[in-house]
Amino acid sequence: MKNGENGSARRLTRRETIVAGGIGAAAIGGVAIDRLGSDDAPQLTARQEEALALRTESARADIVRPAPDQPSNGDEARYPDRFGNHSKGLPHDTHGRVEPAAYEALVAAIEDRAPFEDVPVAGGRRLVNPRAGRAFGLAGRDPQSFELGPPPAVSSPGLAADLVELYWLALARDVAFSRYAEDELTVAAVLDLSNREGFRGPSVGGRVDPGLLFRGSIPGQAEGPYVSQFLLTDIPAGAAAITQRYIVPIAGDDHATGLAEWLRIQRGFEPRRQQRTDPRHRYVRNARDLAEVVHRDYPYQIALGASLILLQFGPDAVDPGNPYLDSSVEEGFTTLGGPQAVDLVARVAYDALCACWHQKWFVHRTARPEEIAGRLDADLRRSSSSELHPSLLSSAVVERIAERQGGSVVLPQAYPEACPLHPSYPSGHASFIGASVTVLKAFFDESFALPDPVVASDDGTRLEPYAGPPLTVGAELDKLAANVALGRCSAGIHWRFDAEDGIRLGEEVALAVLADVVGTLPEQDVSFTLRGFDGSPVTVTRDGLA
């Protein structure tokens, strides 16, 4: 479809229709709102009046909410060369700094002061959908009404600690999760990250336990094996079953490991070398496998698989608050059943991405880890001081990376193309999996223990029984959210704060949608109860959240 920017005539957008003629110019079901109270207006049925009242009430509840402040970390104003901001795909100088005029053209387009066609793209790869941050939503809250605290400033110890963790994670991509307590690389990572200033990963008394290494801080995800059961067990798909063995790269298949290739990729050119894939499909057994699972997936794919796994357990796995569990006459289906759960898993993924894209492009424009590491490399080569916190260079991992890459400290990438061409904060994957998992926690019994849990063998060729404590739906869904979000960190394309804050943004979006959904249901006194990603109980009713 044409977007109308280049044509001589086009239809008014929904936003322009409302602005041009006021709310009275809009229409519902072909009946202009400004005619509803007039003498010649069609007579509404009781059902139409009820539907209009419901939609109006929902819209008003969103409109009266105070507009968020939308604070940024100030890096864009602090550094004229945009050291801390995303600029991939635009022209860059030989030191990896974006050309100022190109960056200003991008900002002008984002702020609707110039057309996007005026933004110069250097290598041919296109920017990923920046105008999506202007999209509206008709369920839940408006995508621009969500506030996300600013990410760490580029000069902060927090960002330096995140980069140290990403360097270790890149080095340890081929270490099996089950061997973290004994492998030399992961043992060294544990020692380096423990008590590191600004480190946000899970620890006990400041010490990082090998069992918590590279995990998220969501309470449930620390239980049991690293990989969620929802990424290992077969997925029922009608009369078929999908075995979760994946096409993965071979060990050591890293990309953009030198400054020249890094700079080429920053300018938006296609990579010179593609992935080398393992001839044998594998179950997820290490960070490289996990990174590939979240490389070419579509937004709700993994959560959809989890919903199909849960639905096979029937009423035993349904949330105990579902009113149909106590009925001897009815069972839930279209409402409060599988179709609604599966629909919402997909629907909230879109809503979360709209909110996420607003934060990415319109508020923060945060640089990707690959961008920051490459700029550090260029500064070190020309003996220039760096804007990064000095604690970064005190880490032994920087020297290890340089030794492995012939002196370069660019961040090794799992994907040939490295990150996509949109800003880092927050993570899109984290946002949509946070939203979809929130729906699953609302519809299913979080205390239900999954039968016959498994782990992948160290070589990923088979599944083996897991003999530890029971693994519950709630904890494994928390872990699924962490696996998907941090799997992008495993690839080297996201910060830890992108992942963890993105998950919580997705949760907020989904809870707002669920509150609207409760108000549409014919079942009386229905509410959704779940445990939030911060561990606190949440109840969603017709009146909102409790």
Nearest alpha carbon to residue 538 among 506, 503, 514: 514
Q: How far is CA 524 from CA 323, 332, 436, 518, in A?
A: 9, 13, 24, 9
The DSSP symbol for 118 reads G
Active site (catalytic) residues: 422, 429
Residue 413 bridge partners (DSSP): 255
The CA distance from 388 to 160, in Å, is: 7
Q: Identify whether the C-beta of residue 488 lies closer than 8 Å to the C-beta of residue 429.
A: yes
Q: Which tokens sit at 360?
A: 């990415």
Contacts for 70-76: CB closer than 8 Å, 24+ residues apart: 70/147, 70/362, 70/363, 71/147, 71/149, 71/150, 72/150, 72/363, 72/364, 73/150, 73/151, 73/152, 73/153, 73/154, 73/364, 73/366, 74/150, 74/153, 75/153, 75/154, 75/366, 76/365
The DSSP symbol for 539 reads E
* H or E segment to which residue 528 belongs: strand 528-531
E-strand stretches of 106-191:
none
DSSP string, 181-220: TT-HHHHHHHHHHTT-TT--S--BTTBPPGGGTT--S-GG
Question: Strand 454-456 vs strand 240-242: parallel, antiparallel, or unpaired?
Answer: unpaired
Q: Identify whether the C-beta of residue 194 lies closer than 8 Å to the C-beta of residue 207.
A: yes
Q: Identify whether the C-beta of residue 167 lies closer than 8 Å to the C-beta of residue 401.
A: yes
Nearest alpha carbon to residue 231 among 490, 30, 20, 9: 490
At which residue do the structure tokens 């009430």 appear? 57
Torsion angles phi and psi, residue 479, rounded to 5: -65, -35
Nearest alpha carbon to residue 346 among 311, 310, 302, 300: 300
SS3 at position 452 = coil
Q: Which tokens sit at 20?
A: 């041009």
At which residue do the structure tokens 């590279």 appear? 214
Q: Identify whether the C-beta of residue 471 lies closer than 8 Å to the C-beta of residue 223.
A: yes
Residue 463 bridge partners (DSSP): 456
Q: Identify whether the C-beta of residue 465 lies closer than 8 Å to the C-beta of residue 457.
A: no
The CA distance from 160 to 501, in Å, is: 17
